Chains A and B, each alone.
Chain A
Amino acid sequence: MPIRFLLSTGLVAAALAAPAAAETVSLPDAALTSAPFETITAAARGQTVNFFLWGGDDRINAYVAGPLAATLKDRYGITLNRIGVADTAEVVNQVLSEKEAGIDAGGAVDLVWINGENFRTLKSGGLLLCGYAEGLPNARHVDWTDPSIANDFGTPVEGCEVPWSRAQFAMAYDSARTPEPPATLAAFLAWVKANPGRFTYAAPPDFNGSAFIRHVFMYAAGGPEALGGPFDQARFDAVAEKAFGILTDLEPFLWREGATYPTDIAQLNALFANSEVDFTFNYEPTVFGAGVEDGRFPPTTRSFAFDDGTLANTSYVAIPFNAAHKAAALVVANHLISPEEQLRKADPAVWGMATALDLDTLPPDAAEAFRALPRHPAVIDGEALADRAMPELSADWLDAIEAGWLRTVGR
């Protein structure tokens, strides 16, 4: 092997091996929750925040690595390092293995986009920095009493994460194929039986498929109220029989007569886009607009919500207990809920994800700016969604329903 080749690869290897810039300032955890924010901002300057988030959407990637990172750099001297992951559970595993390895400081993850099951795992394991969220200067624009903010899939937030975006479940159809989609879940079920083979849903544990099943569950229960509060086996059993009965009855009318289900939402989206089925759905309706723009969905795609109600959830950012750059992570979290950044993120041209802020706490013109944001024709009107919002079930209910589906319908 030529010496020159050895040398040059050696240099590459050495460059890759060079350790990251040494840690500069670090504040004790207690100070992070009590110190004046100016102190934290000062400590944060020069730090790099490793922001772990789902990396499958180039618009989100471009927004985070582009304008968001640029603003943080300009304003706070913080370098935002976007780390895309295919599944947020990978981040949970990372923090868990660090905990097991005794890495109580200097952990890899500074900030993570998270909610639901992943949040519950980290919080119940004591693996998150807590108690700071409501004290952030911009936290005043958040309605912490709103149950859909204060509870993340039934797990009390308790200052362990900062709301970033809201999402609501919506159905999508191709207006060129289905001019008049059914308005209620009951009508929808009837439509499926009348149009055999034209619908299917992604099987749990797919996040979106699981949400669709919960809609049927709530429909069977006669509304979200029947399933509120902590998990109760008796109440579950009462509803489960009916709900899974509906889904079992539906099975012969599904795509491929229900012999197989798409295993993830991307497969269902592809089936929809290729006219094999007539509906898809998503817990994040801006996806439909983005999908039309990036060619995943036909341009005539439209979305709607069932009149009987549609599930809503909030997604958050959280800071692990052992984050290496907590001060900077706090500054980033605070910036993410600034009205200005929330407005930019809500712009469909940028990302289009609904704000987590309570518009009533904003000055009228600022609130108006949110209301005036353009909407992609494929994306359901935010107010139409909000009118039909149903609170999410707690994670225990969620687990029981997924397990029940696998036991009865998805055998």
Chain B
Amino acid sequence: MSAVDLAATKPADVAARTGRTGIRARTARIATGALIALLLLPFVPVLLWSVTRGWFYPAILPPALDLAAWGVVGSPESGIPAAVLRSVGIALGATVLSMLIGVPAGRALGLHAFPGRRWVEALVLAPLVVPPLAVAMGLHAVFLRLGLAGTATGVMIVHLIPTLPYVVLVSASVFSRFDPRVEDQARTLGASRLQVLRHVTVPMLAPGLAVAALFAFLVSWSQYGLTLLVGGGQVPTMPLILNQYVTAGRSDVAAAIALLTVLPGLVALVLSARILARASRRDGEGGR
């Protein structure tokens, strides 16, 4: 409500109204704050652990600041900087591959009804229902013979098992909400094929497909079992290294690695939330 509106309203009215909206706004703010706190709270001890050592019960606060864990994380001997790059590379590669395969598949599922479509859908969903490790066990033997086991490429390919279903499902829903007739209308309004792609198709599909890509990235990024199995330990990604330190009880280094591991997740979360918020503002209520 603008100042002009307020000035034009009777004082009592204003008081009542701002009172009500004030309470509602405050409730909303408190709820949002609580949610954020709930999400971030677990990270507080993790953050503290990563910058301290020798922090024992019953001490409430860490005894001293100590950045040794971050030193370990940053040192080339620990292999962690290389693992970050490796994880990013594998996750990006798996994302690109699963988008290349999954988006056309999702488009077919979302736009066209064809015989056997339910079967295809079930097949696409299967990796989410069947434990991926069960599939990967068989794949591992094949990968070994192909020389893909123990390689980053092999790991990237095996990550497609869990990433593809997400990409296919998300892009199927993106395309099912996309009406290709809009492209026709844009053409007749004077847009060339390229202009339609640039001004209509891509802006309409991009947010949904970006979310699909983010899903693929995060799913690949957080893989543990498949990476261990097909990588044979030779492709140490962040979750593998994290596990090494967790099992060893090194909570300081583990915490530092955990923060590094969670970081892209948080970035992706914020990004996708923004993308989705933009999309929902666009779709709004009453939209189709």
Interface residues of A (CB under 8 A from B): 1, 6, 9-10, 12-13, 15-17, 19, 50, 52, 54-58, 61-62, 64-66, 82-87, 90-91, 94, 97-98, 100-103, 108-109, 264-267, 269-270, 273-276, 294-299
Size class of the B contact interface (CB-based, 8 Å): 35 or more
Q: Is the CB of A58 within 8 A of B72?
A: yes
Closest to B254 in A: A56
Q: Is the CB of B245 within 8 A of A56?
A: yes
Interchain residue pairs with CB less than 8 A apart (9): A9-B93, A12-B92, A16-B89, A56-B247, A84-B244, A90-B233, A97-B141, A296-B249, A298-B54
Q: Is the CB of A13 within 8 A of B92?
A: yes
Quick one: which of A9, A17, A61, A100 contacts B77, CB cutoff 8 A?
Answer: A61
Q: Is the CB of B233 within 8 A of A91?
A: yes
Closest to A13 in B: B93
| Given A12-B92, A66-B77, A83-B236: A108 in contact with B153 (beta carbons within 8 A) | no
Bound-complex Cα distance A274 to B75 (A): 29
Q: Is the CB of B252 within 8 A of A100?
A: no
Q: Which residues of A contact B253 (CB under 8 A)?
A: 58
Quick one: which of A1, A56, A109, A274 contacts B244, CB cutoff 8 A?
Answer: A56
Bound-complex Cα distance A86 to B56 (A): 25
Residue from B53, B68, B152, B247 whose CB has the most chain A CB atoms within 10 Å = B247
Q: Which residues of B contact A270 (CB under 8 A)?
A: 249, 251
Bound-complex Cα distance A270 to B55 (A): 10
Tell me, yes or no, whether B241 is within 8 Å of chain A by CB. Answer: yes
| Given A97-B141, A274-B57: A17 in contact with B151 (beta carbons within 8 A) | yes
A-facing mask of B227-257, CB < 8 A → 1, else 0?
0100011101000110111111111110000
Q: A91 to chain B: closest CB distance in Å?
A: 7
Q: Which residues of A contact B252 (CB under 8 A)?
A: 294-295
Binds A, one of B34-42, B142-150, B169-177, B275-283: B142-150
Q: Which residues of B contact A82 (CB under 8 A)?
A: 79
Q: Which residues of B contact A100 (CB under 8 A)?
A: 141
Quick one: which of B76, B86, B147, B250 contacts A58, CB cutoff 8 A?
Answer: B250
Q: B128 to chain A: closest CB distance in Å?
A: 24
Q: B16 to chain A: closest CB distance in Å?
A: 51
Q: Is the CB of B248 within 8 A of A52?
A: no
Tell me, yes or no, whether B218 is within 8 Å of chain A by CB. Answer: no
Tell me, yes or no, whether B213 is within 8 Å of chain A by CB. Answer: yes
